[in-house]
Amino acid sequence: MTASCSSRKASPYRSESPFSSRCFVGILLVALLLLLPISSDACGEPPKFETMQLQGVPKPSYSPGDRIYYECRPGYQPKRRPLPISALCQDDNMWSLLQEECTRKQCPNLGDPTNGQVQYTNGSILFGSQVHYVCNDGYFLIGTSILYCDISESTVNWSDHPPICEKIKCKPPEKILNGKYTNSHKDIFEYGEVVTYSCDASSGTDQYSLVGESSLTCIESDKWSSDPPQCKVVKCVYPYVENGMIVSGLGQKFYYKATIVYRCNEGFKLNGSNIIVCSANSTWEPEIPTCIKESTTPSTQPPISSASVSTPPSSQPPIPSVSDSKPTHPTMTLGSSHPAEARDKRKRGRALAWADCTQGPSVALLTKVTSYL
């Protein structure tokens, strides 16, 4: 279809445009005709499927009577054999109905590994599925733990070789200075096996304390449950508290994890924790408390004698006197023992002592002097 515009004789009274209006209308009509749909005797693009693909190279157009053939995509196989999978371009320019005719291929069966299990994520071994391998307690996995059913050349197969489960074993744990562990003669320790550390006897005046976990367990291949402990001297200073007393944990030396419980004398209140522990760095945790005087009205009760037994020890020789001793508690039962404070006859100072109640609730007999103040 063509459009032509004949030239007209130009008027001597007006200028003529390069294209006349009649020419412009003709071109517009041609363009509109080209935009109108053109009916043809042909089918549209061949239908597409998830499991199938068109055989060969598609044609530019298909006429009624043309037949196209499909094949299964990689990883799939026909549901029925040996019928060809095809579609026909019909007289109404529509393709004949065609459904998915392929199904997923299946990977080889997998068995449980020795000392392990295989878990199917979707309960099948079809193309696209995956399996997870896990080992029993006491065993560790060597290889790939997750396998996929994937395309392998013209068929499907697992993405890797199945893994194996090996028994967990540990090398001997570390040796420690001034200590040892049980079964140290062994070269290999099995999963779950436990070794226990202990400290040697000290050659000095202070004993060794075991700081850390005393027992270690083989939990993974060459991995123990924690780092080995240490054997070292841990000794805290005497936890003296002015205007207070130790009611539990009194001793001459205070080693690792020694625990002290305090109580303040009457008229004083505790500032801090009443329980402290000797920590691994030879300091008390929390800090040693203090006893501060209470700002209250005087009590109408008669005064109760109470001696502090938390005074630091002295190097003076003990020369105690039974008559000069006094109990640290207002009442003592017959046969009981209590910390007491004593003075010697030479006025050399005070001493920490143990008083035994021997003649009733008020008379005490000094039986042992522990140290001088």
pLDDT reading at 154 higher than 50? yes
More confident residue, 6 or 234: 234
| Tens digit of each residue's pLDDT (9 = 90 or more) over 116-125 | 999 998 889 9
CATH superfamily of 172-232: Complement Module, domain 1 (2.10.70.10)
pLDDT confidence of residue 345: 44
Question: How large a percentage of the chain has pLDDT more than 70?
Answer: 68
pLDDT reading at 7 higher than 50? no
pLDDT reading at 215 higher than 70? yes
| DSSP class per residue in 262-287 | EEEPTTEEEES-SEEEE-TTSSEES-
pLDDT confidence of residue 251: 87
pLDDT reading at 46 higher than 50? yes
pLDDT reading at 206 higher than 60? yes
> What average pLDDT does range 142-149 have in this prediction?
96
Band (pLDDT 50/70/90 cuts) for residue 16 is very low
| Inter-residue contact 100 to 52 (CB < 8 Å) | yes
- Written in H, E and C, the secondary structure of 194-239 is EEEEEECCCCCCCCCEEECCCEEEEEECCEECCCCCEEECCEECCC
pLDDT confidence of residue 304: 52
Cβ atoms within 10 Å, residue 62: 20
> Hey, what CATH class is 235-293 in?
mainly beta
pLDDT reading at 310 higher than 80? no
- CA dist 364 and 356 (Å) reads 6
| Tens digit of each residue's pLDDT (9 = 90 or more) over 54-102 | 998 999 999 999 999 999 999 999 988 767 889 999 999 999 988 999 9
> What average pLDDT does range 143-159 have in this prediction?
93
| Tens digit of each residue's pLDDT (9 = 90 or more) over 245-291 | 999 998 889 999 999 999 999 999 999 999 999 999 999 999 999 99
Q: Start-end ranges of CATH 2.10.70.10 in the chain?
A: 52-104, 116-167, 172-232, 235-293
Give the CATH fold of the 52-104 domain. Complement Module; domain 1 (2.10.70)
pLDDT confidence of residue 84: 83
* 26 phi/psi in degrees, rounded to 5: -65, -45
Give the CATH fold of the 116-167 domain. Complement Module; domain 1 (2.10.70)
pLDDT confidence of residue 122: 83
Q: What is the mean pLDDT of the chain?
A: 79
pLDDT reading at 199 higher than 50? yes
pLDDT reading at 40 higher than 70? no
pLDDT reading at 179 higher than 90? yes
Expressed in percent and rounded to 5, the helix, strand and coil fractions of the chain are 5, 35, 60
Is the pTM higher than 0.85? The answer reads no
pLDDT reading at 355 higher than 60? no
pLDDT confidence of residue 82: 67
| Inter-residue contact 282 to 254 (CB < 8 Å) | no
